[in-house]
Each structure stands twice: as structure tokens, then as C-alpha cells.
């Protein structure tokens, strides 16, 4: 059985934070977003994503400079939190009509800053890979951790 651990709220972290301390980033998980070929996702199902030790993202077309600056501002030791989604039923593996958000968060620590890397799921865009050491534990949902609309990575304040 997985252990559930309480994460600090963004306000608790902010009170402790100095410019040299870690930051928390809320990231989206979209295993339903298939490549332009319709076969592979940048975000595989939760177990595979956690095992991969990676998180992939690309700058949005109209926000390339802002998104690239955000990626450059991430540091080794910063923390990612993610609410995973499932696109298949547990046990049977049959597809769900709509992705099912899970009732917990996953946490990971950045081990390598984002960099553009070759990949096979979308050859039309430059995708950044962020190396993450994902924690095996599941954490309770925290409504204070939120993503901005249409933004796959949001720094928590």
C-alpha cells in the first residue's frame, strides 16, 4: 500500500523561501494528447511516466519567449507536483471515454535543467525534456496547487 505524505502548501513554502531555495512547479499530465501521427504521447500513462524519469514540454507558439524563460528559470532541486490522469481502466486496460484525474499528487525533484532533446512523438516542434527523480509515494491533493489556464507548467507562489 502506498504511503500518503502531506506536502507543504505554497504559502508555507513562500514563508521559508529565499532566492536560493527550491521552488514548486505544478505540471499537467495529459496522456490523451497523442502525437501528430496519432500513436504516441509525450506524457505516457502514470507508471511509465514515473519510470521514465522525464517530463516533456514545448513552448506555446504565441508565448515562446515567456515559456522559454520559465523553462530556463527552473533549477536542479526544484520540485514538480502533478495530478496524474488515466486514459485506460485499471485491470482491463480498456480505454476510458475521457481521461480520469486521480485523487492524489505525484512529486518529483528536478535532476537536470530543461533542454531541447530529440524525440519521436512530435518532429514538428522543439520539445524540452526535464529530468525528474519522481517519488514513488502518492500525496494528498492540495487545492492550492493550480495550473494557469492552457499552461502545462505553473510556478506556485
Q: What is the pLDDT of residue 17?
A: 42
For residues 47 and 90, the answer to whether their CB atoms sit within 8 Å is no
> 101: domain range?
10-155
Q: What is the pLDDT of residue 7?
A: 58
Q: What is the pLDDT of residue 70?
A: 92
**What's the mean pLDDT in 9-34?**
67
- The CATH number of whichever domain residue 142 belongs to comes to 3.10.590
- What pLDDT band is residue 63 in, cutting at 50, 70 and 90? confident
Our count of domains for the chain comes to 1
Using DSSP, state whether 103 is helix, strand or coil: coil
Residue 4 lies in a domain: no
Condensed to tens digits (0 to 9), the pLDDT of residues 24-48 reads 999 999 888 765 556 677 888 899 9
Residue 2 lies in a domain: no
Residue 40 lies in a domain: yes
Residue 148 lies in a domain: yes
Residue 137 lies in a domain: yes
Contacts of 33 (CB under 8 A, 6+ apart): 41, 42, 43
Contacts of 17 (CB under 8 A, 6+ apart): 23
Amino acid at each position: 500500500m502506498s504511503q500518503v505524505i502531506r506536502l507543504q502548501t505554497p504559502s508555507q513554502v513562500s514563508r521559508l523561501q529565499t532566492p536560493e531555495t527550491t521552488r514548486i512547479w505544478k505540471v499537467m499530465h495529459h496522456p490523451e494528447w497523442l502525437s501528430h501521427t496519432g500513436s504516441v504521447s509525450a506524457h505516457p500513462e502514470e507508471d511509465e511516466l514515473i519510470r521514465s524519469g522525464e517530463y516533456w514540454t514545448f513552448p506555446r507558439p504565441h508565448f515562446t519567449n515567456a515559456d522559454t524563460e520559465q523553462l530556463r528559470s527552473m533549477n536542479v532541486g526544484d520540485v514538480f507536483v502533478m495530478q496524474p490522469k488515466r486514459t485506460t481502466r485499471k485491470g482491463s486496460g480498456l480505454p476510458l471515454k475521457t481521461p480520469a484525474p486521480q485523487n492524489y499528487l505525484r512529486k518529483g525533484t528536478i535532476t537536470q535543467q530543461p533542454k531541447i532533446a530529440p524525440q519521436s512523438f512530435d518532429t514538428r516542434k522543439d520539445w524540452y525534456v526535464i529530468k525528474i527523480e519522481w517519488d514513488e509515494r502518492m500525496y494528498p491533493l492540495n487545492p492550492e496547487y493550480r495550473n494557469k489556464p492552457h499552461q502545462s507548467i505553473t510556478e506556485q507562489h
